[in-house]
A = this chain, B = another copy of it.
Amino acid sequence: MKFENITKTVSTVDSFLASRLRGEPRELYSAASYLIEHGGKRLRPYMVIKSCQIVGGNKKQAMAAAAAVEMVHNFTLVHDDIMDNDEMRHGVPTVHMRFGMPVGILAGDLLFSRAFETISNPYFGKTASIGLNLVSTLAKACTDVCEGQTLDINMAKSSKIPSEDQYIKMIEKKTSSLFVASCAMGAISADKNDADVKRLSTFGRNLGIAFQIIDDLIGVTGDPKITKKPVGNDIREGKKSLPILMAIKKASKQERRIILKAFGNHTASKTEVQKAVSTIAALGIESAIKHKALQHSNVAKKSISTYNGTAKNELLSLLDFVVERSL
């Protein structure tokens, strides 16, 4: 799986996106397109397009949905950064740092409304029934993301370590739901219903879970040169992600003490964090997470086994990339 493949496929989405984010006051539209212009892998629009093609549709049919999904994804990033008070993303200041908090909130809201304007616009060649199905699918996903975010906030605030099930439920809502919507909206854009939408939703859900847990693994054991974050960043931040949950569950009393000494401890020394990372590594968490990601990857693979053709192979390559990536 090469990034160039995605880049090439989504270049028309990027132009379309830019055309949908022009307007006045300029400051608002600059803030709304700022993150999109400064990076992002465009996984979701790519998945919309490939899910449309796999059921016999074409890229043009998928365009409105692809752009809408990317706008919604960026809307969640902009608001997330405000909630977490994060200062940097994609190597540049976050939207609220660059444009101020009020315009940051409004830029997120604008991305949201423009997404729904785009998929409900009859000029983009869809029937009313397709359009309404896209709206309903995307709106449901946005609700899921809000619910997942709240679960995440509650999990972070709680003094308890969540169970693996609670954690998976949270990332299904917070992360997977937009991957589910991407795949479903691809099939809907090609005027497919029910069976195809269901198959592709299963693909998106499992790819999404695999994506998030590998992301979590990188946050704990990732190479600082690649992640551009300090070693064991998520340990120091106290992020209750799957590697940590698994490690704490599996650890001996002594190992747990080492991990918890660095966990959520912003004054922990580099050595203490490094020791926690080594302890987690020695517990075999890396291979346990990779095994779990592979399980979801296999469910995803199976869900599209009835299809053939280029788009199928591209979705399978994307799946491999997601599981095998180091960033």
Kindly list 18 other residue pairs between chains A and B, CB separation below 8 angstroms, not including A127-B128, A131-B132: A25-B154, A27-B150, A27-B154, A28-B150, A79-B109, A82-B101, A83-B102, A83-B105, A103-B150, A103-B153, A108-B109, A112-B112, A113-B146, A114-B143, A116-B138, A121-B136, A132-B132, A132-B135
User: From A118, which residue of chain B is reached at the shortest CB distance?
Assistant: B139
Asked, given contacts A149-B106, A150-B27, whether A113 binds B139 with beta carbons under 8 Å apart, the answer is yes
Q: Which 9 A-B pairs have the closest CB atoms?
A: A113-B142, A83-B102, A116-B139, A120-B136, A128-B128, A120-B135, A117-B139, A28-B150, A128-B129
**Beta-carbon contact of A106 and B150 below 8 Å:** yes
A142 to chain B, nearest CB (A): 4
A258 to chain B, nearest CB (A): 31
Asked if A183 is at the interface (CB within 8 A of a chain B CB), the reply is: no
A-B contact pairs, 6 of them (CB 8 A): A79-B105, A110-B146, A114-B143, A116-B139, A117-B143, A122-B136
| Copies of this chain per assembly | 2
A5 to chain B, nearest CB (A): 32
Considering the chains assembled together, what is the distance between the CA atoms of A324 and B296 in angstroms? 63
- Provide the main secondary structure of the chain A interface: helix
Considering the chains assembled together, what is the distance between the CA atoms of A129 and B140 in angstroms? 20
Complex interface: chain B residues within 8 A of A103 (CB):
150, 153
Complex interface: chain B residues within 8 A of A194 (CB):
none
Complex interface: chain B residues within 8 A of A153 (CB):
102-103, 106
Asked if A91 is at the interface (CB within 8 A of a chain B CB), the reply is: no
Q: Which of A52-84 contact B (CB under 8 A)?
A: 79, 82-84
**Beta-carbon contact of B112 and A142 below 8 Å:** yes
**Beta-carbon contact of B106 and A146 below 8 Å:** yes
Asked, given contacts A105-B83, A112-B109, A147-B23, whether A139 binds B154 with beta carbons under 8 Å apart, the answer is no
Q: Which of A132-162 contact B (CB under 8 A)?
A: 132, 135-136, 138-140, 142-143, 146-147, 149-151, 153-154
